[in-house]
């Protein structure tokens, strides 16, 4: 409900700007007794961390998380867990360009239009650095849903898609792109390098699959699992589209093609012969893998000058100087996983509240 807070029963509130002293998240409603430690959070932050390859921004932030509250002797106490990440690489830089003129594709103009002022240093609150706080919160959410495995990966960069036949989950961690197809990863090296050298940027598509979600999570009508996922994913910086299951593809199927036929499973359970629905029907999980796909636009920060206006309303041009991600979707992948975890954990607890 609160605009910097996400969730109903398991909720997190984030704060912080790109160039402030720190950023953080307060996670509220966490069940007690979970093994919450910095060590359980840090690996996820490391996966999102900038500067790990030439395909991401060269900003170097250790992104070390500190737990300031909510745990005792290594366990969650049920009280708010305050997580803080200090900003350490706020390079002294000349921001006079950005202070004066609006970068197209960025939130510069809209923040000014809304608030009448803005922290222009590194994008302020609208910087994708905020997503570090989501990733930290997401690590806690994972502890709430140990029955669930979440895996996100890039399926497309700059319009070049993976070969589904070549999918290998093990491959994902072996390249700089969270790519499950070794050959695609090779191709993307060239694509991204080229875009980077051109001072341009590329978009990407990220897919996320959660397995182990039991049937019954999700809450009709305005707390549907798919609606929550849509909000969670669309709210990630640079995301412009979200699909559940077959998504737009479903709109091109006939009813009998799109049906997920059911059959008796082992020991009274139900099995499905297909998963066009992406594991959700009527806003509630079916027990199949929950599948969503999100489109990241190309990074708006590019070295190629763009026409724009100054704060005073004069025509000018602006180009991003210095460090940027040539394809923001890559580092968006751990963020997608985090948001999936946060939605599922919240819905698990909400389900427990109503249905015991």
**DSSP labels, 42-98:** HHHHHHH-TTSSTTS--------EEE-SSEETTEE-SS-EEEEEE---------HHH
How far, in Å, CA of 204 to CA of 186, rounded?
A: 15
**Residue 273 structure tokens:** 């012969």
Interface with its own copies includes 193 (CB under 8 A)? Answer: no
Residue 347 Cβ vs its own copies, minimum distance, rounded to whole Å: 10
Determine the interface stretch with its own copies among 48-56, 103-111, 177-185, 330-338 (rule: CB under 8 A).
103-111
Secondary structure in 3-state letters for 63-75: CCEEECCCEECCE
Interface with its own copies includes 104 (CB under 8 A)? Answer: yes
Q: In the range 244-263, which residues lie near its own copies by CB under 8 A?
A: 244-248, 250-263
Residue 170 Cβ vs its own copies, minimum distance, rounded to whole Å: 25
Residue 168 Cβ vs its own copies, minimum distance, rounded to whole Å: 22
Do residues 261 and 271 lie in contact, with contact meaning Cβ atoms separated by under 8 Å? no
Interface with its own copies includes 124 (CB under 8 A)? Answer: yes
**Residue 96 structure tokens:** 């006079």
Interface with its own copies includes 190 (CB under 8 A)? Answer: no
Among 28, 61, 63, 337, binds its own copies (CB under 8 A): 28
Per-position x/- string for 32-51, each x denoting binding to its own copies as judged by CB under 8 A, each - no binding: xx------------------
**Residue 35 structure tokens:** 């093994």
Residue 272, CA atoms < 13 Å, CB-side half-sphere: 17
Q: In the range 200-219, which residues lie near its own copies by CB under 8 A?
A: 200-205, 214-219
Determine the interface stretch with its own copies among 35-43, 45-53, 162-170, 310-318 (rule: CB under 8 A).
310-318
């Amino acid at each position: 409900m609160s605009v910097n807070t996400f969730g109903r029963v398991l909720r997190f509130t984030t704060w912080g700007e790109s160039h402030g002293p720190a950023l953080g998240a307060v996670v509220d409603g966490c069940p007690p007794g979970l093994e919450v430690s910095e060590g359980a959070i840090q690996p996820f932050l490391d996966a999102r961390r900038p500067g790990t390859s030439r395909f991401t921004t060269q900003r170097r932030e250790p992104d070390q998380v500190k737990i300031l509250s909510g745990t005792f002797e290594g366990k969650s106490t049920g009280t708010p867990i305050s997580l803080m990440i200090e900003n350490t690489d706020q390079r002294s830089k000349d921001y006079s360009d950005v202070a004066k003129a609006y970068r197209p594709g960025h939130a510069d103009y809209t923040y000014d239009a809304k608030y009448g002022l803005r922290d222009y240093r590194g994008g302020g609150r609208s910087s994708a650095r905020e997503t570090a706080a989501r990733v930290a919160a997401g690590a806690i959410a994972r502890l709430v849903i140990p029955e669930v495995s979440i895996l996100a990966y890039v399926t497309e960069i700059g319009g070049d898609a993976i070969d589904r036949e070549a999918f290998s989950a093990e491959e994902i961690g072996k390249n700089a792109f969270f790519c499950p197809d070794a050959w695609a990863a090779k191709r993307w090296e060239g694509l991204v390098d080229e875009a980077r050298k051109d001072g341009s940027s590329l978009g990407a598509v990220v897919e996320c699959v959660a397995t182990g979600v039991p049937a019954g999570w999700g809450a009709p009508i305005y707390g549907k699992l798919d609606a929550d996922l849509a909000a969670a994913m669309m709210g990630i910086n640079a995301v412009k589209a979200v699909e559940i299951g077959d998504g737009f593809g479903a709109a091109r199927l006939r009813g009998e093609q799109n049906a997920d036929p059911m059959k008796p499973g082992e020991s009274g359970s139900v099995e499905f012969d297909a998963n066009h629905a992406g594991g959700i029907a009527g806003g509630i999980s079916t027990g199949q893998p929950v599948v969503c796909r999100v489109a990241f636009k190309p990074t708006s920060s590019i070295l190629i000058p763009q026409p724009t206006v100054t704060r005073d309303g004069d025509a000018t041009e602006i180009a991003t100087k210095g460090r940027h991600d040539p394809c923001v979707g890559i580092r968006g992948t751990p963020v997608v996983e985090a948001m999936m975890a946060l939605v599922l954990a919240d819905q698990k607890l909400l389900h427990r509240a109503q249905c015991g």
